[in-house]
Amino acid sequence: MNIRAGAITLAGLLPASRIKNFLLRRCGWKIDLGVVVHPSIFIRIQNVQLLEGSSTGLFNVFRHLRRLSLGVGATVGQFNWVTGGAPGLPNDDSFLELGEQSAITSRHYLDASGGITIGKFATLAGERSVLLTHQIDYRESKQSIGAVTIGEYSLVSSSVKVVPGAVVPSFSVVAMGSVITPGLVQENALYAGVPAVLKRRDLDGKYFHRSHGPVEPRLGK
């Protein structure tokens, strides 16, 4: 680990503060006003851009990423594991990019080796979902990669598995426990099952018309 990488790892463990943001900027991070970076582990993160009002929660792990980008107001919760750059992968472009007002909640695993994009106002909700972007091609006996995209205003529920190369169409809902494979194209839809298939078209609701996000918890009745 070089000096810069070591400094970032140490600074990442500090409590959220203006001083912490200053130190991370000195290490080359682009951090706008109002950004909150709670104590987390950052290992070999090459390029970081955290736009105004974005935040990362407690005890996340980010490792071996070429790029980490959080849009305006985007949030990452706590106890998430985001990793990339698996050894031997071709054309490594490991990145995690969150659009404006999008959110990852808590306790998810994201393999970003092939790149993960989460569109504006989209939510990786609940917990224990797994997003994979690399796999073993048994026919060629080598590893392959495929980017994963979660479309804007989409809602992905708990314990969902997303395979390399898959896309969650915009303005869609993915039911709990589903497995998302490549080939889904219908927007404004509900997907469910293993593998997930189209269950309902023409979804509508206040979630798809938000001008601010992430969704706040609703307490009481």
Contact of 199 with 190, CB cutoff 8 Å: yes
In angstroms, the CA 115 to CA 46 distance is: 14
pLDDT grade for 218, boundaries at 50, 70 and 90: low
What's the mean pLDDT in 5-13? Answer: 92
22-81, pLDDT tens digit by residue?
A: 999 999 999 999 999 999 999 999 999 999 999 999 999 999 999 999 999 999 999 999
pLDDT at position 135 is 82
Phi, psi of 148, rounded to the nearest 5 degrees = -115, 135
Confidence label for 127 from pLDDT (cuts 50, 70 and 90): very high
Instruction: Quote the mean pLDDT of the chain.
Output: 92
For β-strands 81-83 and 61-70, DSSP reports them as parallel
CATH number of 47-209: 2.160.10.10
Is the pTM higher than 0.85? The answer reads yes
List the one residue out of 201, 109, 91, 210 whose CA is nearest residue 158.
Answer: 109
Cβ within 8 Å of residue 121, ≥6 positions away: 99, 100, 101, 102, 152, 153, 210, 213
Q: How far apart are CA 20 and CA 17, in angstroms?
A: 5
pLDDT, residue 91, reads 55
Residue 214 has pLDDT above 90, yes or no: no
Which pLDDT score is estimated for 221? 47
pLDDT score for 160: 98
What pLDDT, on a 0 to 100 scale, did the predictor assign at position 87? 60
Mean pLDDT in residue range 188-208: 95
Domain boundaries, the chain: 47-209
Q: Residues 6 or more apart from 139 whose CB is under 8 A from it?
A: none
